[in-house]
Every structure is written in C-alpha cells, then in structure tokens.
C-alpha cells in the first residue's frame, strides 16, 4: 500500500522521497514505474484484503435494491470486484488509473461469466464525473488514501443516493502506543495514519453514520499480497541484479513487509461500513 504513495511522490516531485532518499535525484520516473508495476501486476491483489472480509462487509448493507449500482474505486486488478459480482446481481463500475490492472480485471470477469455486469473504467479517482446520486454503494479497499481519507469521504458522499453505503478499508493504528521503529516508519510513509477510533469523528463530520467496523484479519495481508510479493521480489532481484535503482525499490518494499511481520499487532487495515446520513 505504501508503495502507491511513494509512486505518487515520484510523479508529484519528480524525485524520490521516503525510504528512497538515497537514490540520486532525477530518476527516470517511467523506468522506476515500469519496475514497480512488474511487482504489482503479478499479484492477485494490490493491497491487503480477502474474500471473507469483502463478504463480511457486504452483508452489513441492509435494504439494498435488488440490483444495486456499485462503484469500486481504486479497484486494482479487481480482487474485491469479482467477489462483489458474486454477492449481488447488481452493476459494478470498477475504476482504476492503471490500465493493465483494468485489462486483467476484464479477462478475469469474462472467465467468471460476469463481464456484462462490470463496467471497467480507466480513470483518476480525483476527477470522477459521475452524476450526483449515481450509486447505492461505493466500495474502496485500500485506496482512499490516494485522495486522503477525509477528502475521499467528503467527495464521494455526493455520488451516493440517499441512505447509500460506503465500504472503505484504511490503514490505521490498532494501539495508541507503538515501538519507536514502527512509529518512525509510518511518520515517513503515512503521516496521516490515525488510530482506528480517531476515524469515528471524521466519519460523522463527513456526513455518514457508522454501521460497522472490523479489522482485517492478519492473513489477508499475506495470502494474496505479501506472500506472492516476496516471491516476485526474489525473481526480480535476480533479473535486475546489476541495477541499483531497481534493487532499492525492492529493498523498500521488503522493508514494508518486514515491518508488518514484526509489528502487525500495532497496525493494520480497518474496514469501515458507513451509511450516508441526512445532511
Ligand atoms: C493499494 S491498491 C488497492 C487495489 C485493490 N482495491 C485491492 O485491494 O487489491 C491502490 C489502487 O489504487 C489505484 N490508484 C492509485 N491512484 C489512483 C488514482 N488517482 N485514481 C484511480 N486509481 C488509483 C492503484 O492503481 C491501485 O490499484
């Protein structure tokens, strides 16, 4: 997940931030991105999550129409999109700004026989121009941080119908106190990260009612994400054995994984199921 914020830092600043500060300035952004995408395109999911958690969150959405309209923001290659398509006969608009993820989703949807119910969009979540009140549900697993969690909640509210739902997972602290090493890591990587309970007032002030909250289970970080990522990193390390810049990308992803291996009791993903409140 942190890899995404760093990639955006390259785009925004034209140079690398965070754990890559030791890389010389003016790295060739396209080349870095290309290496970076080789990792993520190989993974079943582009962030922590699992089928059970998607189902658990979906089953909290009481009173949906028979064929709900769902928007899946930052869908990646569609790990959760295909689960949603199994759970409901409704229509899903799946949006991501990386076209190869969307192509992979299309292929998987065709294979699963639900392609006609998934409208795939390559687009930027910062400039979605769907008409107000278009959706019964907005779904976002692990991608709200791209806009900033608070901004995302505020911006997406208007896209929901009255009493529409927002199901969103976000990186949070599980404990108020944590070892200095992991605190320093996230102070660099995700300074906006909040304690899971400190999100509650943000939810209310953004015009939602909280329906449910649960933490993603530990294994949802590994099965479809970190375990295949570590395998891919090992093979890419061999492929790019003489490329220092590539190796530094692999190092920084490995550091993120090692951090989780060591400190997962202190932080993780919180799944928030919210309902649009009357304004
Ligand atoms: C951490 S991944 C989560 C992907 C997917 N929801 C999952 O859980 O597997 C974040 C996703 O947001 C997408 N993304 C990043 N910036 C975006 C933007 N500005 N607009 C749309 N999607 C974006 C990335 O391409 C990536 O697929």
CATH architecture label of 1-279: 3-Layer(aba) Sandwich (3.40)
Token code pair at residue 266:
């202190």
Residue 81: Cβ-neighbour burial (10 angstroms; 0-12, 13-18, 19+):
buried
Helices (H), the chain: 2-13, 29-40, 51-58, 79-87, 99-112, 149-157, 180-189, 200-205, 227-239, 244-263
Asked if pLDDT for residue 254 goes beyond 80, the answer is yes
Neighbours of 7 (CB within 10 A): 19
Question: Per residue in 98-148, pLDDT tens?
Answer: 999 999 999 999 999 999 999 999 999 999 999 999 999 999 999 999 999
Tell the residue nearest (CA) to atom 26 of ligand 1: 76
pLDDT attached to residue 47: 97
Whether the model pTM is above 0.85: yes
Residue 76 CA, ligand 1 centroid: distance in Å:
5
Which atom in ligand 1 lies closest to the alpha carbon of residue 48? Answer: 8
Please choose from 97, 156, 168, 171 the residue to mutate so as to test ligand 1's pocket, defined by most ligand atoms within 8 A of CB: 97
pLDDT attached to residue 24: 36
Please choose from 40, 44, 74, 95 the residue to mutate so as to test ligand 1's pocket, defined by most ligand atoms within 8 A of CB: 74
Q: Where do the domains of the chain lie? A: 1-279
Q: Which residues line ligand 1 (CB under 6 A)?
A: 1, 4, 45-47, 49, 74-76, 79-80, 96-98, 101, 124-126, 141-143, 146
Q: Check residue 223 and report its DSSP letter.
A: I
Residue 46 CA, ligand 1 centroid: distance in Å:
7
Closest residue by Cα to residue 125 from 161, 169, 93, 103: 93
Q: What is the mean pLDDT of residues 24-45?
A: 80
């Amino acid at each position: 997940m942190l890899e995404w914020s760093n990639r955006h830092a390259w785009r925004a600043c034209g140079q690398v931030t965070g754990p890559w500060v030791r890389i010389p300035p003016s790295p060739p952004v396209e080349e870095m991105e290309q290496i970076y995408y080789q990792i993520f395109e190989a993974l079943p999911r582009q962030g922590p999550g699992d089928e059970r958690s998607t189902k658990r969150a979906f089953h909290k959405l009481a009173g949906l129409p028979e064929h709900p309209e769902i928007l899946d923001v930052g869908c990646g290659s569609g790990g959760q999109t295909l689960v949603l398509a199994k759970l409901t006969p409704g229509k899903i608009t799946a949006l991501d700004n990386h076209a190869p993820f969307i192509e992979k989703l299309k292929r998987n949807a065709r294979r699963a026989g639900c392609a006609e119910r998934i409208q795939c969009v390559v687009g930027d979540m910062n400039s979605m121009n769907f008409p107000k009140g278009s959706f019964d549900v907005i779904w976002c697993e692990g991608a709200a941080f791209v806009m900033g969690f608070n901004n995302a909640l505020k911006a997406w509210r208007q896209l929901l119908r009255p009493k529409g739902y927002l199901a969103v997972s976000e990186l949070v602290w599980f404990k108020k106190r944590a070892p200095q090493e992991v605190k320093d890591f996230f102070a660099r990587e995700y300074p906006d990260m909040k304690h899971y309970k400190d999100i509650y007032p943000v939810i209310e002030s953004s015009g939602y009612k909280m329906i449910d909250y649960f933490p993603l289970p530990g294994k949802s970080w590994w099965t479809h994400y970190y375990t295949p990522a570590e395998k891919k990193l090992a093979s890419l390390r061999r492929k790019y054995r003489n490329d220092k810049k590539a190796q530094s990308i692999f190092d920084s992803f490995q550091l993120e994984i090692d951090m989780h291996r060591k400190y997962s009791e202190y932080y993780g993903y919180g799944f928030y199921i919210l309902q649009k409140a009357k304004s």
